[in-house]
Structure 1
Amino acid sequence: MRKDRLYFFTFLAITVIFVLIAGISTRSFIKVSANNLLNTQLESSKREAREVASLIGFQLASGIPKDSVIDNVQRSIENTNIENGFICMFDWSGKEICHPDITKVGQQINPNQSSVTSVDGEMTSEDFYELLTDKRSFGGVRDFKEEDRDSEIIYLYPVKNSDWIIAAHANVKKISTQIDDIRNKFYTIFIIMGAALILCSVIMVRIIGSAYEKKLEAKNQKLEDQNQRLGDEVVNLAKLNKDLDNYQQKVMDTKLNVPKTDSEKNKKRILTYVRNELRPISTEDIAYIYTESTITYVVCFDGSRSTTNVSLDELFSNMDESHFYRANRQFIVAISAINKIIKYGNNQLKILVDPNSEVDIIISKNKAAEFKQWLNS
């Protein structure tokens, strides 16, 4: 259930991020594409208006009568395809002189509905885009808010040696439709891309999540196995320490019941030195014996420490093996001094004694079984 919620929130987060990015980028792409379309329309209209104005100006400069020039222009533009745009001509008073629709010739253009641009102001593609999308007027004398107008004058160019003006019209409704088509295409592309991207992302997240879960499960299983082994080791150590307590109690009971004429093999005292003073120490007072830097030290339960010239091998051969244990080449430890036994390294044991030893007392892996048997004996 928790994984399903995680996948759902992942899907939701990716969707929100994509929608935000796509919303911003799509608008920019649409604007760039629309500006390219409008720029093409503007440049085409400007070039056509200038060429017609130049041609008319050339005819007037050649002495051709104005009536003949007007007649030639009217016949050239009459009944032309006005689907995308067209050229017309009017004078400075606003009277239509030439128009593709012959019925409009002679009509007076209302100053409040004349154009969206003026002779003094030249429209750019960005201005044209804002005009189409926001219905914002630019440079002209009319407010661009009439929804029923099919065309708008987007460029004006005067004819030399006359009071005539060439006007380039653009079919704004068709251009708006083309921009809407561009917008719809971009939205369709982004929706398809978004769906594919989100689906692939969710699948990848699921695959990665499943792989991570398997890895995590394997790791958890390994930890469980380690914990199980550790638990077994703890149980074994607990049993070992319990055996230690039992053996210590057994040794104490044995001491109380041993007659004064016990075996002569076991020494009762060890002769030691404290500086230049000879000091005999009862074996019952010895906690542990160890060697360090070729010197043999005898440590008693009261914490006092002295030295002896006798080697560990010789000392241990004359000591009660039920009370003392040869832990390693460096240590002989009394059962009564052992405080706790803990795991150390790889299958090794460490003996903690009282009083504390500055040198670690380690039972090797090979001697661990012997030590456990000694405690159980």
Structure 2
Amino acid sequence: MKVVSVVGARPQFVKAFPVSRVLRERHEEVLVHTGQHYSESMSDVFFEELDIPTPEYNLGVGSGTQGEQTGRIVTRFGELVEREEPDAVVVYGDTNSTLASAVVTAKTDARLAHVEAGLRSYNREMPEEVNRELTDHVSDLLFAPTRRGVENLRKEGVGNVHLTGDVMYDAIRWARSRAAEHSTVLAANDLADGEYVLATVHRAGNTDDPDRLAAIMGALCELDREVVFPIHPRTMECLDEYGLRERVESSMTLIDPVGYLDFVRLLDGAERVATDSGGVQKEAFFLDTHCVTLREETEWVETIDAGWNVLVGADREAITRELTAPVSLPEKPELYGDGDAAERMVDLIERDAGSTDGSDG
């Protein structure tokens, strides 16, 4: 069986490596990097750290508007699928790469599997919400990480849904111990476990709004403890544009974007994290780190219900309150499976394709 796997952004690299390892043991995998995140610090380093094989294809789509980026992927991925003639295509998450590849695949004979299906924030102003909804509705196999995801899809009338657990849990179990042994990021930045707040801010809804970004940065700058901020290039550009850079640089510890293992070590060692990332919310849960989410909604509602995550949006007072209040976390429930999601997903792809013996064809 030939399977084409599509990745294009940091969280997808992390989700892909456990699945790719299982696929390559049993079948022919063709790994496609769309180039949606194209700098070495944002992409190549993840392949190296996670021991993911060099992608057979890099579509090199680069940045651009939602329409431009999606259109370039449709064109280039369409040509690739026609040439490779895969039996199945696997897409991850909710990026433009995911939607564009799904649209192309839906018009071919290849079976389409969506990893991380069924997530909903119910905010269609987020491009990711539109991407995940449309991808779910054209997919043949839907791998939901949570029971809520399964229920969301049932309500929408979507079939062939499977509760697999979360493949990011597979990844984080491996990465946590490896990062503890090999990462030097804490020592390099003179940091100690439990003595800093980690911050990540990159979503356009925050970075492209001067008032929201000023409120978030204002709250972070006023904390009485060290704030470590691996800064996204787009966020730095916005700090310059809005005149916020000088204050941020003088109040926080700014570092360049880090690789996956270094980020896991930073998140594992943080006293708590402030983020607008979907993936970081879940990684924080896996690593027992309290999360303060700089958004008004989340697709990971289970972490909110469990008391391990709190939504504060760009409310300066709420951000300050949640980053300074004593941390008192309840017992952590098992929400995302047992760390064997990748095996389940490949088993389901095989069953769907009628190839349970692991042979090609």
Question: What TM-score bracket applies, with the shorter chain setting the length?
Answer: under 0.3
TM-score, length basis structure 2: 0.19
Whichever structure has more strand as a proportion of its residues is: 1
Greater Rg over alpha carbons, structure: 1
Instruction: Point out which structure has higher relative CO (alpha carbons under 8 A, 6+ apart).
Output: 2
